[in-house]
Amino acid sequence: MINNWLNYISNIHYKEIDLTLDRIFFVANKLDILPLAPFVITVSGTNGKGTTCRLIELILLHRGMRVGVYNSPHLINYKERIRINGKELSNSVHIKSFNIINYVRKLTSLSYFEFTTLSALHIFSQFKLDVVILEVGLGGRLDATNIVNTNLAIITNIDLDHTKFLGLTRNDIAKEKSGIFRSNVVAVIGDNDIPISVYEIADTIGTILYRYKYDWWLIHNNNYWCWQDHNKKLNNLPIPINIPIKNAAIAIAVINKLPFLIKRENICYGLVNAWLPGRFNVININPYIILDVAHNFHAIKYLINFLKKLPISGKIHVLIGIFRDKDFIKIINILNPLVNKWYCTNIKHHRSANCIDLIKHTNTNSLSFNNISEAWYYMINSINYNDVAIVLGSFITVSNIMKIINSKRCFIFNSNKKII
């Protein structure tokens, strides 16, 4: 069973997060899995990595290329982390890879993320792929994915998160994320306020920066948008419904720097079809029910902009379950002016913020719950037809709600209440 393997992998290393490349390099060399593919794209950033990866993937698949993608974390099932040509793989493929890595590593201790990253790389090496897209788990310089030499690097944006590991300033965090840069390789930067450390590292190793608002732009109004750089312009592009337009623009900047002929129709297909569960995920209208794994200030600002575009006539309800090492005070404070009722919950995880600590910072009607399920059922039976219900704060929080929803066959409404 794959879950037995995942439990085993979770307990073979003494630290949950252990940022170093020595052990994973050693095992990767024994596996002889590098290089992975003719072209590798590595995606770092504070937010938007998953949706950016997904859009690039869809565009390349529509062009007829063979693509492997590694994302993390997963929401429902571990198999979400690895896709080959847009599809998840069977349990047997994963279990076979786990067995091989476990045999090869012998006494080498690997963290969960190191082990699963090696498994992804090992699986990719078994297929004849044209492009591999790797989402960085944490930072960049010492992230397990950085054992792979990238052909194109991406930093979607830079904000404060994981400060315990990456540093207390944007400049420190940018330095860690810039660790994925390589000599004579293009790095697409989606942040328009680029810290000096990005320039310093790029200058030192000879990385070619391709920067938002300096080298490429997006122009957006309610009816259309266009993308352009100094040499090319794409007019009247379809507005993506399920991903932020900024992430879409980053993906197109990447596409523009790939050594493949990619047509407008490939790009438009990706824009229309790209989405990832749990990211600005509207699962119902009337009432609006939104799932969003937003767990830092930057992501919450995106969520607020998303909400401003909705025709909201009722009240806003927010269920929040979040880790205590996140800046939940800042997150609650920025949302307080919009929220009519809070549902603060504990998460079944050792890093969970206590719901009592969360509720202290809310400035309106607030309730506390010992578990996510209890909070969800209370909220969903409290909202009216024209209200908005939002679940946010952690992948674990959203995952739990998705499991509850997936266990039901349908939603049933009367004129005022949501009934499950």
pLDDT, tens digit, for every residue of 292-322? 988 788 889 888 988 888 888 999 999 999 9
Placement of tokens 């050594």 in the chain: 259
Check residue 355 and give its pLDDT. Answer: 92
Q: What is the pLDDT of residues 274-293, one digit of tens each?
A: 988 888 888 898 899 999 98
pLDDT of residue 414 exceeding 50 = no
Q: Tell me which residue of 47, 86, 52, 50 sits closest to 253, measured CA to CA.
A: 52
Q: CATH 3.90.190.20 region(s) of the chain?
A: 281-419
Check residue 160 and give its pLDDT. Answer: 75
Q: What is the pLDDT of residues 134-155, one digit of tens each?
A: 999 888 898 999 999 999 999 9
Higher pLDDT, 354 or 221: 354
Check residue 382 and give its pLDDT. Answer: 93
Q: Average of pLDDT values for 342-365? A: 91
**75: exposed, middle or buried (Cβ count in 10 Å: 0-12, 13-18, 19+):** buried
Check residue 162 and give its pLDDT. Answer: 65
Q: What is the pLDDT of residues 259-272, one digit of tens each?
A: 999 999 999 999 99
Q: Average of pLDDT values for 398-419? A: 67
Check residue 379 and give its pLDDT. Answer: 95
pLDDT of residue 96 exceeding 90 = yes
Residues with Cβ within 8 Å of residue 49, at least 6 apart in sequence: 43, 71, 135, 136, 156
Q: Average of pLDDT values for 367-376? A: 94
Check residue 409 and give its pLDDT. Answer: 47
Q: Average of pLDDT values for 337-357? A: 93
pLDDT of residue 102 exceeding 50 = yes
- Residue 75 half-sphere exposure toward CB, CA atoms < 13 A: 21
Check residue 412 and give its pLDDT. Answer: 47
**19: exposed, middle or buried (Cβ count in 10 Å: 0-12, 13-18, 19+):** middle
Bridge partners, residue 418, by sequence: 413
Phi-psi region of 106 (alpha: psi -120 to 50; beta: other; left: phi over 0): left
Average model confidence (pLDDT) across the chain: 91
Q: How far apart are the first and last CA of the chain?
A: 32
pLDDT of residue 416 exceeding 60 = no
Confidence of residue 419 (pLDDT cuts 50, 70, 90): very low
For CA atoms 413, 396, 159, 361, give the dihedral sign.
positive
pLDDT of residue 128 exceeding 70 = yes
Q: Average of pLDDT values for 214-233? A: 91
Confidence of residue 165 (pLDDT cuts 50, 70, 90): low
Q: Which fold has domain 281-419?
A: Protein-Tyrosine Phosphatase; Chain A (3.90.190)
CATH number, domain 2-273, options 1.10.3720.10, 3.30.360.10, 3.40.1190.10, 3.40.710.10: 3.40.1190.10
Q: How far apart are CA 124 and CA 351, in angstroms?
A: 32
Q: How far apart are CA 418 and CA 379, in angstroms?
A: 9
* DSSP assignment letter at 415: S
Rounded to 5°, angle at Cα 135 from 134 and 140: 100
pLDDT of residue 230 exceeding 90 = yes
Q: Tell me which residue of 340, 282, 333 sits closest to 306, measured CA to CA.
A: 282
Q: CATH 3.40.1190.10 region(s) of the chain?
A: 2-273
Confidence of residue 163 (pLDDT cuts 50, 70, 90): low
Check residue 34 and give its pLDDT. Answer: 86
Q: Range with the lowest mean pLDDT among 92-101, 128-137, 187-196, 401-410?
A: 401-410
Check residue 417 and give its pLDDT. Answer: 47
From the CA atom positions of the chain, what is the Rg in Å? 21
Check residue 311 and give its pLDDT. Answer: 85
Q: What is the pLDDT of residues 3-25, one digit of tens each?
A: 899 999 888 877 666 667 999 99
Q: What is the pLDDT of residues 179-222, one digit of tens each?
A: 999 999 999 999 999 999 999 999 999 999 999 999 999 998 77
Question: Is there a contact between 169 and 196 (Cβ–Cβ < 8 Å)?
Answer: no
